[in-house]
Amino acid sequence: MYKQIQLLEKVQMIDIELSKIEDQMVALPQEINKCERGLQDIQEEIDSIKNELKESQSLQIQLQGEIDMENERIKRDKERLKQVGSEKEYKAVLKEISTAEKTIKKKEKELLETMEEVEKREELLKEKEKTAAELTQTIDNKKKLFKKEEEELNRDIEIKSKDRDNIVKDILPDVLKRYDFLKGQRQRLPVVSVNSKGICTGCYMSLPPQKFIQVQKRDSIVLCPHCHRILSWNAQEKNDES
């Protein structure tokens, strides 16, 4: 029966390796997905900046048009000054010119601020687009790497699965069934050793003396009465400890 436990331990070692490979298989696309979500966030920022930039550019054109209109009004009013026939009308035209000049000054300030906003958003847009391009390249590289690693991992899975199948053929059906049950029920090792002090290394609980003796005899499958794992005893390890 000790031979059966040795085979189970070999199967368990392969299962551990397969589990690690499966974790790697899961981790690779998750990393790519994380980058893609980051790219999506950046793209949304880019779209938002473009909309804001469009609005600022439209406002810039509008303000420039309004300034040009006021300048034309001043030009016309100055021509009118040459033709007015009374002082009252002359003062009225001067007032219109003064009002237009004040309006121009105000709108020129707004225009300057808007132009600065346009410049800032254009620079920010360039930065975000550069970041997006770099992240896109990173994603492409990761996808190529993932494909290569996935192929290698699948080869490893195939090799280890064949090794497992070859070992499993020599394990008694009832013993294998017990192992698979424990493996499925617990995300822990189904087979654990017992140290020289009679303690299960799975749950670190002491075994009853009779159980400890049964494990040392190695002539039957013994389960831990606490965690119900299959117990293994290695006489060489005991001698090393002593």
pLDDT in tens, the chain (242 residues): 789 999 999 999 999 999 999 888 888 888 899 999 999 999 999 999 999 999 999 999 999 999 999 999 999 999 998 888 899 999 999 999 999 999 999 999 999 999 999 999 999 999 999 999 999 999 999 999 889 999 999 999 999 999 999 999 999 999 999 999 998 876 578 999 999 999 999 999 999 999 999 999 998 999 999 999 999 997 544 444 44
Question: Residues with Cβ < 8 Å from 91, sequence gap 6 or more?
Answer: none
**From-to residues of CATH 1.10.287.1490 in the chain:** 10-168
Report the amino acid identity of residue 42.
I
CATH T-level fold of 10-168:
Helix Hairpins (1.10.287)
Burial class (CB in 10 A: 0-12, 13-18, 19+), 63: buried
Specify the pTM. 0.63
Distance CA(219)–CA(238), nearest Å, equals 17
Residues in the chain: 242
Report yes or no: 232 and 222 within 8 Å, Cβ to Cβ. no
Ramachandran quadrant class, 204 (left: phi over 0; alpha: psi -120 to 50; beta: rest):
left
